[in-house]
Amino acid sequence: MADLEIRNLHVRIEEREILKGVDLTVDRGEVHALMGPNGSGKSTLANTLLGHPAYEVTEGSIKFKGEEIIEAEPHERAKAGLFLAFQYPVSIPGVSVANFLRMAINAKREEPIQVKEFRNELQHAIELLDVDRSFTSRHLNDGFSGGEKKRAEILQMAMLKPDVAILDETDSGLDIDALRTVAEGVQKLHSEQGLGALIITHYQRILHYIKPQFVHIMLDGRIALEGGVELVERLEREGYDEIRREYGAQPAAASAGGKGA
Amino acid sequence: MPDASTTGGGAAAANGASSTPNGAAAVAVKPGRHRESTLYHALHGAGAGDGRSLQELREAALAVYEHSELPVWRRSGFWTTSFESLDLDALRVRHHEVGAGAIPQIVRDTMPERPRAGRIVQSDGSVVHVELDPELASRGVILCSLEDAAREHAELFAQWYSKRLTYGRHKLEAANAALWTGGAFLHVPAGLAIEEPFEIVYAIDGPGVAQYGRTLIVGERGCEFRVHEYDLAGDFAGQALHAGAFELYLQDGARCRLAQVQDWGSGQVFDASTRVVSVGRDAYCHWLPTLLGGHLVRQHLELAVTEPGGDMAFRGLFFTEGQELMDVFAVDLHETGPSGGDVHWRGAATGTSRASFEGLIQIDPGAQQTHTYLQIHSMMLSPKARVDAIPSVLVSADDVSASHGGTVGELDEDLIFYMQSRGLDRASAVRVIVEGFFEPLLSELRDEPLEELVRAKVTEKLASAREDIEAYATSR
């Protein structure tokens, strides 16, 4: 039994079908890369896995640790051990990073976390992500730069210790230093905590820092091609168009255009 | 949250008012002028206290009271606030004996235990408790009922009483001026700096009560102090009325932080109150009312800079629930310059409640070098709740800056989803959003017990609005 098991997943948003039968499994301790051009359905998959209300599952199943979760509320999925690092994290005015983390951690626990334990874990996480101590007293994502937002996502991931994390284009908009820090953070959580990761990306460069064991190429709402890290190199050489020609998917723009769908 | 920001600067005159009186009070006492008297005008200037005795003022007010109807405020095209459903004849001014036993339960349950400079509690028609730090008493601070002040501090009383408050605008204002009982008087001598707050409490201890509360506070030259007012009622069935009047005068260089917690419970408490703060030369006031609802609440709040160099921060928070109605008229008045103003209000509504807010910046001729800004942010937490906010600017000087902005928000589903994805359930996520929304003002209270009290009340209101908030999600 895989930890995260997606079978024949069909999803639509506002009457338009975006995912057209996705099959994918991610286990703890595995690193998967999900690649694909804009509009292929990568972010739709990410949002659907956490249960965004705008995305409607019309067919198929999502099992997490053996349980069907399609009907589960987003917070129940999070408590079960799923995590989504957002492509565009929203800001929460008036709530500090530290306070938000405390709330999120306590939401998963019976007893509130002890002050000292929380402080230690936070210290560990901010060292891992190479952020300044003052970072945690700022309002979450409020006025954060793109790099700070992405670090805050990984900081949350480090504190919440999910079993499987979906990283939705965490690499986009990062300079090389921020990219390295974020990637090293993910790598460390993977090796230290056995995190399973589904790294969604449009580009190859984050995969220079985190080596995936499995690579999936998504075209037009389906996984068109799967393999190992050699697929990344092939993509780098040939681009998506070549793969699309070979595997017969329709042009993405015709059916699933729009922002990050 | 959608961000609908407007900014109107300079000499814009966007108020619905047809004209502004120059310095003189715009008091219409003629019965037939009733409708005009309930327009959204600043009180602006001299009050009724013009040398007449208290007895004379009460008699004049009584005449207005007897000849006027219950007020109806109309903001053309936006809202109407009508007190016509108040059965005033059925209400009585109820008196209690002084003593600890007379302090209402709601006061015991609500007020934080904390160090304080003094406390005065009025239950229904009577002041039932007065305490003052003996050290402060020995240094000349006066805290007593306004009734006692009229007798025992006649000179101070005559100098300040009703200096900027009127009695002729509407029946409930007249009722207060004619019929007030109990009341609170605080006098802080020159140069004293007092860290802990003075607490002034008006409690309504059951239905059938008309409470005419009246507060007079004078801060002499260079003093510094805090005032926390509490307006409280339990959850009872039946009508009650609080018609309040409040005046605070800050002399040269005086500084005051004034906060108010108003929560009239779930009974049918009507509240029609007028509050005026006058900021003198180089004086400063930070005023932050937290208005947490009542059956029908109408507040006229006016913060006036009356001497050069005066500065103020006018904050406010309101949160209505159920079927409550609230009408707040907040005036940022600059009679002279240079002066500073900064008005920042935030309001939320659940249920089918309705909150109407008008913020008016008024800068008089000659109030040159005035710089002020008004912002009002509102958030609707249920599909049937409504918040209206109108910023107005009335400027009669040319070397000034005055502008306004604001946002109107609804619950942001992406924000809720974000927090849910971190393990918070929907109700918790909404609570975080609303607390975060109010946080910029709560932190400005700079008083931990008070912050905690307001936070707890916001949480309590959200818990009771849980169904609404769920309905909000499914309605979209």
pLDDT digits 0-9 by tens, A152-185: 999 999 999 999 999 999 988 888 888 888 888 8
pLDDT score for B29: 40
* Closest C-alpha among B363, B383, B384, B381 to residue B372: B363
Cβ pair A103:B417 closer than 8 A: no
Model confidence at B35, pLDDT cuts 50, 70, 90, reads low
pLDDT score for B5: 34
pLDDT at residue B11 tops 70: no
Distance from CA of A252 to the nearest CA of B (A): 26
Reduced to 3 states (helix: H, G, I; strand: E, B; else coil), residue A107 is helix
Q: Is A86 on the interface with B (CB under 8 A)?
A: yes
Cβ pair B439:A73 closer than 8 A: no
Cβ pair B413:A53 closer than 8 A: yes
pLDDT, average across residues A92-103: 92
Rounded Cα distance between B86 and B268, Å, is 9
Model confidence at B188, pLDDT cuts 50, 70, 90, reads very high
**Burial class, B100, CB count within 10 angstroms (exposed 0-12 / middle 13-18 / buried 19+):** exposed
Q: Which residue of B has its CA nearest to A84?
A: B421
Which residue is it, tokens 């818990």? B463
Rounded mean pLDDT of chain A? Answer: 89
Rounded Cα distance between B112 and B114, Å, is 6
pLDDT score for B92: 96
pLDDT score for A129: 82
Structure tokens at B423: 């393990």
pLDDT score for A45: 97
* Closest C-alpha among B189, B247, B193, B175 to residue B216: B247
Rounded Cα distance between A153 and A168, Å, is 11
Q: Mutating which of A103, A142, A154 best tests the B interface, going by the most B Cβ atoms within 10 A?
A: A103
A49-63 confidence digits (pLDDT tens): 999 999 999 999 999
pLDDT score for B212: 98
Structure tokens at A165: 């994390």
Q: Which residue of A has its CA nearest to B427?
A: A75
Partners of B424 on chain A (C-beta within 8 Å) are 75, 103-104, 107
Q: Say which range, A172-181, B144-153, B364-373, B384-393, has the weakest mean pLDDT.
A: A172-181
pLDDT at residue B197 tops 60: yes
Q: Out of A104, A139, A156, whose CB is closest to B424?
A: A104
DSSP result, B133-162: -HHHHHTT-EEE-HHHHHHHTHHHHHHHTT
Cβ contacts of B294 within 8 Å, gap of 6 or more:
B233, B242, B262, B263, B264, B265, B269, B270, B271, B324, B326
Reduced to 3 states (helix: H, G, I; strand: E, B; else coil), residue A214 is strand
pLDDT score for B7: 33
Residue A240 and residue A249 in contact, taking contact as beta carbons nearer than 8 Å: no
Structure tokens at B361: 């910046």
pLDDT score for B28: 41
* Closest C-alpha among B202, B178, B37 to residue B129: B202
* Closest C-alpha among B329, B358, B209, B347 to residue B269: B209
pLDDT, average across residues B198-222: 97
Q: Is B415 on the interface with A (CB under 8 A)?
A: yes
Cβ pair A92:B414 closer than 8 A: no
CA torsion B414-B417-B421-B422 (nearest 10°) is: 80
pLDDT, average across residues A23-33: 95
Rounded Cα distance between B70 and B40, Å, is 16
Identify the DSSP state of A205.
G
> Regarding predicted confidence, which is higher, B100 or B68?
B68
Q: Is A144 on the interface with B (CB under 8 A)?
A: no
Partners of A152 on chain B (C-beta within 8 Å) are none
Q: Out of A51, A107, A139, whose CB is closest to B423?
A: A107
Model confidence at B472, pLDDT cuts 50, 70, 90, reads low
Q: Which residue of A has its CA nearest to B440?
A: A94
Residue B95 and residue B66 in contact, taking contact as beta carbons nearer than 8 Å: no
pLDDT score for B12: 33
Instruction: Give the rounded percent of residues in chain B with a pLDDT score beyond 90.
Output: 78
pLDDT score for A208: 86
* Closest C-alpha among B404, B340, B348 to residue B371: B340
Rounded Cα distance between B377 and A94, Å, is 14
Identify the DSSP state of B18.
S
The A residues from 31 to 70 touching B (CB cutoff 8 Å) are 50-54
Which residue is it, tokens 């009341």? B183
Model confidence at B143, pLDDT cuts 50, 70, 90, reads very high
Question: Sheet harboring A214-219: ordered strands across?
Answer: A82-85, A164-168, A196-201, A31-35, A214-219, A222-227
Q: Where are the alpha helices (DSSP H) in B300-425?
A: 413-420
Domain ranges within chain B, ordered by starting residue: 31-411
pLDDT score for A253: 43
Number of other CB atoms surrounding residue A188 within 10 Å: 15
Reduced to 3 states (helix: H, G, I; strand: E, B; else coil), residue B166 is coil
Rounded Cα distance between A37 and A250, Å, is 12
Number of other CB atoms surrounding residue B347 within 10 Å: 25
| Upper half-sphere CA count for residue A241 (Cβ side, 13 Å) | 0
pLDDT score for B471: 67
Number of other CB atoms surrounding residue B467 within 10 Å: 11
Opening angle at CA B457, ends B456 and B463, nearest 5: 90
Cβ pair A53:B417 closer than 8 A: yes
Q: What is the largest CA-CA distance in chain B?
A: 67
pLDDT at residue B438 tops 70: yes
The CATH code that applies to domain A4-86+164-255 is 3.40.50.300
Model confidence at A248, pLDDT cuts 50, 70, 90, reads low
pLDDT at residue B8 tops 60: no
Q: Is B226 left (phi over 0), alpha (psi -120 to 50) or beta?
A: beta
**Burial class, B323, CB count within 10 angstroms (exposed 0-12 / middle 13-18 / buried 19+):** middle
Q: ipTM value of the model? A: 0.92
Rounded Cα distance between A248 and A220, Å, is 10
* Closest C-alpha among A36, A43, A40, A46 to residue A217: A36
Q: Is B386 on the interface with A (CB under 8 A)?
A: no
Cβ pair A107:B425 closer than 8 A: yes
pLDDT score for A205: 83
* Closest C-alpha among A176, A201, A246 to residue A33: A201
Q: Is B418 on the interface with A (CB under 8 A)?
A: yes
Rounded Cα distance between A106 and B422, Å, is 11
Rounded Cα distance between B185 and B335, Å, is 26
A204-224 confidence digits (pLDDT tens): 888 888 889 999 999 999 999
pLDDT, average across residues A102-125: 93
Number of other CB atoms surrounding residue A7 within 10 Å: 14
Distance from CA of B347 to the nearest CA of A (A): 15
pLDDT, average across residues A222-242: 90
Domain ranges within chain A, ordered by starting residue: 4-86+164-255
B146-182 confidence digits (pLDDT tens): 999 999 999 999 999 999 999 999 999 999 999 999 9
Distance from CA of A214 to the nearest CA of B (A): 25
Residue B331 and residue B299 in contact, taking contact as beta carbons nearer than 8 Å: no
pLDDT, average across residues A108-116: 92
Strand spans (E) along B252-338: 255-263, 268-279, 284-291, 296-305, 311-320, 325-334
Helix (H) or strand (E) holding B187: strand B184-188
Residue B233 and residue B262 in contact, taking contact as beta carbons nearer than 8 Å: no
> Regarding predicted confidence, which is higher, A250 or A239?
A239
Cβ contacts of B137 within 8 Å, gap of 6 or more:
none
Rounded Cα distance between B424 and B439, Å, is 19
Q: Is B474 on the interface with A (CB under 8 A)?
A: no
pLDDT score for B77: 82
What are residue B376's DSSP bridge partners?
B345, B406
Rounded Cα distance between B141 and B190, Å, is 10
> Regarding predicted confidence, which is higher, A146 or B286?
B286
* Closest C-alpha among B445, B81, B398 to residue B258: B445
pLDDT, average across residues B332-354: 95
Model confidence at B316, pLDDT cuts 50, 70, 90, reads very high
Rounded Cα distance between B183 and B146, Å, is 5
Residue B439 and residue A100 in contact, taking contact as beta carbons nearer than 8 Å: no
Reduced to 3 states (helix: H, G, I; strand: E, B; else coil), residue A95 is coil
Residue B164 and residue B195 in contact, taking contact as beta carbons nearer than 8 Å: no
Model confidence at B21, pLDDT cuts 50, 70, 90, reads very low
pLDDT score for B16: 33
pLDDT score for B412: 87
Residue B351 and residue B468 in contact, taking contact as beta carbons nearer than 8 Å: yes
